[in-house]
Amino acid sequence: MPGQLFNSPEKQWVRRRLWLPTLRDFHSRFLGEIKYLTFAGPQGHDLELFAIQQKLIRIENIRIWENAPDVAKRLVQKYGPALKIKQGEAFDLCKAKNEKSFFPFHLVNLDYTSGAFHVDQPRRLPTKLETVQMIINNQEEHATSFLLFLAVAAKADVDNDLGRLFVQKAAFDLAKRLGKTEPLFDLTRDLAKTYPETLATIVPCIVIRMGGEHHFDTHCIGKAVYRPYRSAKTTILSFVFNLEYENVPLTLSSHQSMKLFDESIEDRQRKACALQLIDVNLKIPRRRRKIRSKQLP
């Protein structure tokens, strides 16, 4: 039997050991019903776990964005009309007027399987990061704190030259401003070995900056790397962020309030750099790994 799509033992570990405890903790402190925006994939394994098995979220409170029409159709057939599925590209949907009316959410899961920095033409921001920024923007309009799960591919070849310029500039900034020199150093060496670690440092610092600029005290509270089914072709980074909305005094100028946020942005970035990157492949028991690899063609 071939390995199931989006359900490797490593992905299951991320769902159960990284996402679920974070959601449980949020749920235990939250009064009200959690609204969830996700890419559920063809089988909806995340909503099976959070809504059907653990009952932390009601199916009616889940909104799915899915760009593949066949996958969207399959989800409708599996879960029926209670589940709200919007077919389309997340980059377009995060800006669509109609979709904005469904905000705010308390958990947003952008579970990508491609690179964060790939761009086809010069842009101010790569589209995935602009999607994150728009979502933060939409949440800010409702002054609503939320959890963000973000996954991206991290093999050395996932981001093209144009995209890698963003990575180099960010690495340079972290070296200069925070004295964090490894990403810059590693980019000049063996990318195949070091690119996941480099992105594991850079991506959280970008999200923390975006959150801070929209009045969210943003913490990276988890980061993990895995190769699904120990594949040589795919490496995925999975991040967990907590974005706490901070009301700023209405008497402060935007310059003064940004100055306050600047200090905390730097502190949160330092903490994110110091946070351990969990290697999920090392967490999967050896026997289970062997069984899995035998099952694969």
Q: How far apart are CA 249 and CA 251, in angstroms?
A: 5
- CA–CA separation, 83 vs 58, rounded Å? 9
Contact 28, 50 (CB under 8 A): no
Least distance from C-beta 284 to ligand SAM, angstroms?
A: 17
For residue 10, how many C-alpha atoms fall within 13 Å in the half-sphere facing its CB? 23
In the chain, the amino acid numbered 14 is V
CB atoms inside a 10 Å sphere around CB 55: 9
Identify the bridge partners of residue 62 per DSSP, sorted by sequence position.
36
Nearer to ligand SAM, 3 or 187 (CB): 3
Task: Give least dist CB 130 to ligand SAM, A.
Answer: 11
Which residue stretches of 20-126 are H helix?
20-29, 45-47, 69-79, 90-93, 97-100
User: Coil, helix or strand for 37?
Assistant: strand
CB of 7 to ligand SAM, least distance (A): 7
Tokens 């402190």 belong to 29
CB of 6 to ligand SAM, least distance (A): 4
Q: Which of 49, 51, 46, 90 lies closest to 68, judged by CA?
A: 90
DSSP state of 227: -
Measured from the CB of residue 75, what is the shortest distance to ligand SAM in angstroms?
9
Contact indicator for 55, 128 with CB cutoff of 8 Å: no
Q: Which is nearer to ligand SAM, 11 or 219 (CB)?
A: 11
Q: Which is nearer to ligand SAM, 68 or 252 (CB)?
A: 68
Tokens encoding 288: 């289970």
Nearer to ligand SAM, 40 or 203 (CB): 40
Q: Which is nearer to ligand SAM, 47 or 171 (CB)?
A: 47
Contact 250, 235 (CB under 8 A): no
Give the interface with ligand SAM as residue ranges (CB under 6 A): 6, 15, 38-42, 45-46, 65-68, 71, 89-90, 109, 111-113
Closest approach of Cβ 44 to ligand SAM, in Å? 7
**Is the CB of 39 or the CB of 239 nearer to ligand SAM?**
39
Question: Is the separation of the CB atoms in 136 and 98 below 8 Å?
Answer: no
Nearest distance from residue 231's CB to ligand SAM, in Å?
A: 14
Judged by CB, which is closer to ligand SAM: 72, or 200?
72
